[in-house]
Structure formats: structure tokens, C-alpha cells
């Protein structure tokens, strides 16, 4: 480990490697397999979740994110909104019928947060797919990997469906191998 990395780690400064953030794009090609092999269609929404940030620099970063999304939406017609959920986590929610635009938008916001020093606050990106019930692919920024999440009523999950989906896509997506890190996200606003 380089000295700079050691000092950054010691003083709590963490950054996400570029390769990790670029893993986000693999969901775009995997969506073709999901549509063809499983009849799972991408929804028109995706979200990015990050921890609460108490800082004046966050206000600046949020303004910059909104300006980037506004510029981007002129070209791609991607709608967006920023909300805070009941747990005080911030969500950037994107809406666009073009799934590639959703993935690119999530990457753009993530990269902006990382460049402004907020990479350690990023929790996950969420991509929703539809068939008979919603299926979510959750990208964990800390691990740089995806995992499936299939919620059922009463805060239960369909583990069998999650494992089936995982087995069909493990060659196309960087999937979290350790299933103990497949955290459920109840009440996803996507």
C-alpha cells in the first residue's frame, strides 16, 4: 500500500477505485440477458443512495449534481428528483425509458460525489426490473459488486429467485459471492 493510501485510510479518507465505479456499466449489457432469458424488463427508474452528509460542501455538491442532472436531462430527457427517506438517507432518483441513460446518469452522479470527496458516503445504486414482481439489482459501492434482491410482502424475500437470477448472470455481472452481504433494502423508493 502506498504511503498516501495508508495515511488516507488512517485519517478516514477513502476513495473508490475507478474500476469499481465502472463496474456499474455491466448492468446495461446484463439487462439484455435478463429480458431474453428471464423476461425481466428494466423499469424506467433507478436510484442512488448515500449516507447523510452534514457539511456545507455537501450543499455545494448537491447543487452541482442538480446542475449536472439538469444539463443531462436536456439531452437525454431523464427526469430526476432528490429525496431523503425515513432513515435520513439521501436518494437521487432518475426516470427515463432508456435504460442506458439511467445507468449513465447513476454513474455521472456517483462520479461527481467521488470527485468532491464524498465517495465514502455512497451506499448503493438500485436498478429495478419487472416481471410478475419487482426484482432489484443492488450495486454495493464498498464491494464494487451487484447482488439481487427480490422482496416479498411482510419484509420477506424470495431467496430462491435471488439465487436463480444470480446463477444466470454471474458471468455477466460482478456479483457479490458472499451472500451474507446481500442486504435487504426495504422501502426502496425506486
Extract the C-alpha cell encoding 74.
Answer: 436536456
Range in 49-63, 77-91, 120-134, 147-161 with the lowest mean pLDDT: 49-63
pLDDT at 104 over 90: yes
Average pLDDT over residues 117-129: 93
What is the predicted pLDDT for the residue at 185? 93
Using CA atoms, how far residue 177 sits from 82, 113, 163, 180, 181, in Å, is: 31, 27, 11, 9, 8
Whether 142 has a pLDDT exceeding 50, the answer reads yes
CB 173 within 8 A of CB 30: yes
pLDDT band at 60 (very low <50, low <70, confident <90, very high): confident
pLDDT score at 103: 95
**Distance in angstroms (rounded) separating the CA atoms of residues 48 and 93:** 7
Whole-Å CA distances, 19 to 16, 88, 144? 8, 29, 8
CB distance 119 to 99 below 8 Å: no
Render 40-60 in DSSP notation, one character per residue. PEEEEEEEEEE----SHHHHH
| Statement: residue 167 has pLDDT above 90 | yes
Check residue 10 and give its pLDDT: 37
**What band does 12 get if pLDDT is binned at 50, 70 and 90?**
very low
Angle at alpha carbon of residue 95, lines to 174 and 60, rounded to 5°: 85
The helix (H) or strand (E) run that includes residue 76 is: helix 56-76
Q: In whole angstroms, what is the distance from residue 107 CA to residue 121 CA?
A: 15
Average pLDDT over residues 53-74: 79
CATH of 16-176, one of 3.20.20.70, 3.30.70.1130, 3.90.1150.10, 2.60.34.10: 3.30.70.1130
**127 strand-pairing partners:** 46, 137
The greatest distance separating any two alpha carbons of the chain, rounded to the nearest whole angstrom, comes to 51
Sole residue written with cell 465502472:
22
Average pLDDT over all residues of the chain: 86
The bridge status of strand 134-140 relative to strand 79-84 is: unpaired
Give the H or E element holding residue 86. none
pLDDT band at 34; cut points 50, 70, 90: very high
Amino acid at each position: 500500500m502506498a504511503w498516501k493510501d495508508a495515511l488516507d485510510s488512517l485519517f478516514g479518507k477513502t476513495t473508490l477505485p475507478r474500476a469499481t465505479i465502472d463496474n456499474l456499466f455491466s448492468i446495461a449489457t446484463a439487462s439484455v440477458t435478463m429480458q431474453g432469458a428471464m423476461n425481466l424488463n428494466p423499469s424506467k427508474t433507478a436510484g442512488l443512495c448515500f449516507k447523510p452528509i452534514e457539511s456545507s460542501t455537501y450543499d455545494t455538491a448537491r447543487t452541482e449534481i442538480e446542475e449536472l442532472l439538469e444539463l443531462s436531462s436536456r439531452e437525454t430527457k431523464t427526469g430526476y428528483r432528490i429525496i431523503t427517506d425515513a432513515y435520513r438517507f439521501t436518494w437521487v432518483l432518475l426516470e427515463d425509458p432508456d435504460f442506458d441513460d439511467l445507468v449513465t446518469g447513476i454513474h455521472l452522479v456517483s462520479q461527481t460525489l467521488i470527485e468532491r470527496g464524498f465517495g465514502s458516503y455512497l451506499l448503493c445504486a438500485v436498478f429495478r426490473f419487472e416481471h410478475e414482481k419487482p426484482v432489484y439489482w443492488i450495486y454495493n459501492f464498498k464491494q464494487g459488486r451487484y447482488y439481487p434482491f427480490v422482496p416479498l410482502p411482510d419484509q420477506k424475500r424470495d431467496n430462491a429467485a435471488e439465487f436463480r437470477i444470480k446463477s444466470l448472470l454471474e458471468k455477466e455481472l460482478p456479483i457479490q459471492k458472499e451472500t451474507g452481504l446481500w442486504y435487504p433494502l426495504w422501502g426502496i423508493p425506486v
